[in-house]
A and B are shown apart, each in its own frame.
Chain A
Amino acid sequence: MYEGPIQDVIEELGRLPGVGPKSAQRIAFHLLNVERADAQRLADAIVAVKDRVRFCARCFNVAEAEECRICRDARRDPRVLCVVEEPRDLMAIEKTSEFRGRYHVLGGAISPIDGVGPEQLRVKELMARLGEEAVEEIVLAMSPNIEGEATASYLARTLKAMDLRVSRIASGLPVGGDLEYADEVTLGRAFAGRTEV
């Protein structure tokens, strides 16, 4: 146990995902050595993300305004909607430059052991958008793990019943991985090779 603020920082860092006690200690002592201005910039950025960033009212991507940059971009094709689990998956697809439509972020995947069903995801919001917007095709881009599969399977079934064209990005992505970890080439190819279900 260290004394005072250094112990506070270690404990706060240790609460972050993927940061173990050893890393927390290393980062804390690194922070002790940086310039005050650098520490201030980090602190400001953390506060700003809480104060300024919110979710897009349309697609639930992270946004700085009422709607996100993509939803406001008139060049994006409103007829094609890509459904993803998290904003980070959206970012992974954007990096491939293969997709020119818009997105819908569910906020997770179906997982009964975590108490997550369709009601806990933004499925209701997706259905509402389909009623209001001129969407013709839905691309399901869930993570290639079993929760992602189940989510895609549920959505495909529900959306097909509404007479929409539904496709899924081709598999060939590493099974059990997260979409965001797929490298850009693999993901781009998966996108180009999406199959109608």
Chain B
Amino acid sequence: MHLESLSVVDWRSYASTDVALGPGVRVLVGPNAQGKTNLLEAVHYLATGASHRVASDAPLVRAGASAAVLRAQARVGEDARRATVEIEVRPGGRSRAQLNGQPQRRVADAVGVVRAVLFAPEDLALVRGDPSDRRRFLDGLLAQRRPAYAAARGEYERVLRQRNQLLKDARRRAGRVDATLADWTDALARAGATLLAARIAVVHALAGPTAAAYRELLAGPTGPEAADRVGLAYESSTGRRIAAEPEAGVPDPAELVEELRTALVERGDEEIERGITLVGPHRDELALAIGELPARGYASHGECWSLALALRLASREVLREVGDEPIVVLDDVFAELDVTRRARLAERCRGFEQVLISAAVDEDVPLDGVRYRVRGGTVIPLAEEVA
């Protein structure tokens, strides 16, 4: 899919701006802090219902305004039919969304039409950050792949809060456990198994494309497969480590329910002592390795950067399997790469339906495509500026 146009009103630094887009490569050029990232953030928001930079909506709305409006005209599906998505971001109240002019019951019902994979400098945390950064990556990808995942995750989090409260109460009462703990353990195992099955399946699906993208960035498409092969593994808090295998199928949720329940019961005393749930998808880790070594802690800056980028490029492949080809959004990426890797990333992007790129220096982006100058809240296609 691709965007034909993007409009923002009272979004970040923008009062009101329309940008005509289209398929192929589109490069937003301009000095830093002039609003390039804000536009790419809008695309991410339309695709996911959230910012990739901040957890709450308040900073997204221009100072003095009560709501921001994002509007995209898109071409979607195999028949490239027209679709319009509009989201009104209202931090103080209820945000609203429209799909093809029809008001939707929830914002979540309008996201997913625009599909996008965004890579930004903050993504270094995918490799260097805490396990929670990698869990967020998997959950974000799964929510885009299957809308039902976000609902399942919300349900799991609610069960977790309920069960943690019960454990906290038990700790306060010197270990006296409420009669309903067994029921909440059951509920947690069931809700957790749904997430676990989806996460393991997506790690399997990511493994091949991630290793391939990393190899290409490092050595070029025909480069030798060296000791720097990327490996993915899902480390469950039940103690099981599941090495990613591209051919592996989706695990049986019923078995995962039992596995979680057994592990929860085993650590029951410790849970009551600490007043917190110690087993479940909220404590799992996506382990990344380069060769034999864990990437976190051992990989160089350049390797971390390439691996994070490879994970995003692989996400594109995983999303493409189940629907429209997503837009690839590269925020301020080329400046961080050396000339060779810039050329390899550019090579990789050729043939993508739409690539939206931001850069401070035009020459850093070795790709043909339409250029836009972004300065002081205005966006002007470069050809127009010349004319």
CA gap between A154 and B185 in the complex, in Å: 11
Name which residue of chain A comes closest to B184, CB basis.
A150
Q: Hey, which chain B residues are within 8 Å of A146, CB to CB?
A: 155, 158-159, 162, 187, 191
CA gap between A157 and B181 in the complex, in Å: 12
Task: Indicate if the CB atoms of A118 and B180 lie closer than 8 Å.
Answer: yes
CA gap between A121 and B162 in the complex, in Å: 17
What 0/1 readout, one digit per residue, does chain A (135-165) give for beta carbons within 8 Å of chain B? 0000000000011011001100100000000
Q: Hey, which chain A residues are within 8 Å of B186, CB to CB?
A: 153
Closest beta carbon of chain A to B86's beta carbon, Å:
23
Task: Indicate if the CB atoms of B178 and A112 lie closer than 8 Å.
Answer: yes
A193 at interface (Cβ–Cβ under 8 A)? no
CA gap between A118 and B180 in the complex, in Å: 8
Closest beta carbon of chain B to A7's beta carbon, Å:
22
Task: Indicate if the CB atoms of A154 and B180 lie closer than 8 Å.
Answer: yes
Contact among B151, B162, B169 for A150, CB-based, below 8 A: B162
Task: Indicate if the CB atoms of B166 and A112 lie closer than 8 Å.
Answer: yes
B165 at interface (Cβ–Cβ under 8 A)? yes
B183 at interface (Cβ–Cβ under 8 A)? yes
CA gap between A117 and B179 in the complex, in Å: 9
CA gap between A147 and B187 in the complex, in Å: 10
* Known contacts A110-B180, A117-B180, A176-B155, A153 near B165 by CB under 8 Å: no
Task: Indicate if the CB atoms of A153 and B161 lie closer than 8 Å.
Answer: no
Q: Hey, which chain A residues are within 8 Å of B182, CB to CB?
A: 157
Q: Hey, which chain A residues are within 8 Å of B165, CB to CB?
A: 112-113
Task: Indicate if the CB atoms of A176 and B151 lie closer than 8 Å.
Answer: yes
Closest beta carbon of chain B to A78's beta carbon, Å:
28
Task: Indicate if the CB atoms of B155 and A112 lie closer than 8 Å.
Answer: no
Name which residue of chain A comes closest to B155, CB basis.
A146
What 0/1 readout, one digit per residue, does chain B (136-155) give for beta carbons within 8 Å of chain A? 00000000000000010001
Task: Indicate if the CB atoms of A147 and B179 lie closer than 8 Å.
Answer: no
Compute the total of residue contacts between A and B using a CB distance below 8 Å.
44
Contact among A113, A153, A175, A176 for B183, CB-based, below 8 A: A153
Task: Indicate if the CB atoms of A117 and B187 lie closer than 8 Å.
Answer: no
A23 at interface (Cβ–Cβ under 8 A)? no
Q: Hey, which chain B residues are within 8 Å of A113, CB to CB?
A: 161-162, 165
Contact among B151, B166, B178, B183 for A157, CB-based, below 8 A: B183
From residue 210 to 246 of chain B, which have CB atoms closer than 8 A to chain A? none
A195 at interface (Cβ–Cβ under 8 A)? no
From residue 102 to 130 of chain A, which have CB atoms closer than 8 A to chain B? 110-113, 117-118
CA gap between A111 and B183 in the complex, in Å: 12
Closest beta carbon of chain A to B171's beta carbon, Å:
13
CA gap between A137 and B182 in the complex, in Å: 24
Name which residue of chain A comes closest to B183, CB basis.
A153
Q: Which of A117, A154, A175 has the most CB of B within 10 A?
A: A154
Task: Indicate if the CB atoms of A149 and B187 lie closer than 8 Å.
Answer: yes
Name which residue of chain B comes closest to A155, CB basis.
B183
CA gap between A175 and B194 in the complex, in Å: 15
Closest beta carbon of chain B to A176's beta carbon, Å:
7
* Known contacts A146-B159, A146-B162, A154 near B187 by CB under 8 Å: no
Closest beta carbon of chain B to A175's beta carbon, Å:
8
Task: Indicate if the CB atoms of A147 and B178 lie closer than 8 Å.
Answer: no
CA gap between A118 and B368 in the complex, in Å: 67
From residue 148 to 193 of chain A, which have CB atoms closer than 8 A to chain B? 149-150, 153-154, 157, 175-176
From residue 345 to 375 of chain B, which have CB atoms closer than 8 A to chain A? none
Q: Hey, which chain B residues are within 8 Å of A118, CB to CB?
A: 179-180
* Known contacts A113-B161, A118-B179, A150 near B187 by CB under 8 Å: yes
From residue 85 to 105 of chain A, which have CB atoms closer than 8 A to chain B? none
* Known contacts A146-B155, A146-B158, A112 near B183 by CB under 8 Å: no
CA gap between A118 and B161 in the complex, in Å: 18
CA gap between A118 and B166 in the complex, in Å: 13
From residue 15 to 70 of chain B, which have CB atoms closer than 8 A to chain A? none
Residues on B lying within 8 angstroms of A by beta carbon are 151, 155, 158-159, 161-163, 165-166, 169, 178-180, 182-184, 186-187, 191
5 residue pairs of the A-B complex, CB under 8 angstroms, read A110-B180, A113-B162, A117-B178, A146-B187, A149-B187
Per CB-CB distance, the 4 closest pairs between chain A and chain B, nearest first, are A112-B165, A153-B183, A112-B166, A154-B183
For the complex with contacts A111-B162, A118-B179, A146-B162, 17 further pairs of A-B residues with Cβ separation under 8 Å are A110-B180, A112-B163, A112-B166, A112-B169, A112-B178, A113-B161, A117-B180, A146-B158, A146-B187, A147-B162, A150-B180, A153-B183, A153-B186, A154-B179, A154-B183, A175-B151, A175-B155
Residues on A lying within 8 angstroms of B by beta carbon are 110-113, 117-118, 146-147, 149-150, 153-154, 157, 175-176
